[in-house]
Amino acid sequence: MRALPLDTADTELGARILKVNHAGENGAVQIYAAQIAVARLTAPALVAELREFRSHEERHRAIFQAELLRRGRPRCRSYVLCALGGWVLGFVTGLLGSSAIAATTVAVERVVLRHLKVQLAQLRHSDPAAVLAIEAIVADEQRHHDELAAQVGQSAWVKVLEPVVSTATEAVIWLGMKL
């Protein structure tokens, strides 16, 4: 196999990252969709905020989709898996109430923000279009984390959910990069 020139290799990395981010945003949309459906009963005070966050995630997904289309790239093979997993996670945590909903968002966003920082560092000098797409979502993701971190509380669910959700999020990102 012939080695790719550096700029092509960097662009390939940018495309892979964008594909995984697009799939992840699809998962986030589904987490919020399921949480909203259930939170009407278990945490009605959060529904408006969850709807707002879902709209941000839909915009993020559209940003990554537009960049993939511009590059002529298909979506990630993990796109549907992220949607299904996100919906299940959102439904289950929605059933557990407001602390579980908040803990889920905080855990997911903590992992996502860490990955976004690494991605920006990796692509800063080689794929400016990917950097712009990623930078366009960072502030929203930080806001989701910060606003719900203030609401997490000290329920037992928080201690259980944080490591499980963080590990699952890491695994989905890893798998997406491998597919």
Which CATH number characterizes residue 11's domain?
1.20.1260.10
Give the pLDDT of residue 158.
78
Do the beta carbons of residue 107 and residue 161 sit within 8 Å? yes
- pTM score: 0.90
Give the pLDDT of residue 8.
61
Give the pLDDT of residue 83.
96
- Residue 138's domain comprises 6-178
Task: Show the DSSP H helices in the chain as ranges.
Answer: 6-42, 47-71, 79-96, 98-123, 128-149, 156-178
Domain count across the chain:
1
Other Cβ atoms closer than 10 A to 83: 18
Give the pLDDT of residue 71.
95
Each residue's pLDDT tens digit in the chain (179 positions)? 333 343 565 578 999 999 999 999 999 999 999 999 999 999 999 999 999 999 999 999 999 999 999 999 999 999 999 999 999 999 999 999 999 999 999 999 999 999 999 999 999 999 999 999 999 999 999 999 988 888 776 777 778 888 999 999 999 899 888 87
Q: Classify residue 111: in a domain, yes or no.
A: yes
Going by C-alpha positions, the residue among 145, 95, 158, 74 that lies closest to residue 116 is: 145
Give the pLDDT of residue 2.
39
Q: Classify residue 1: in a domain, yes or no.
A: no
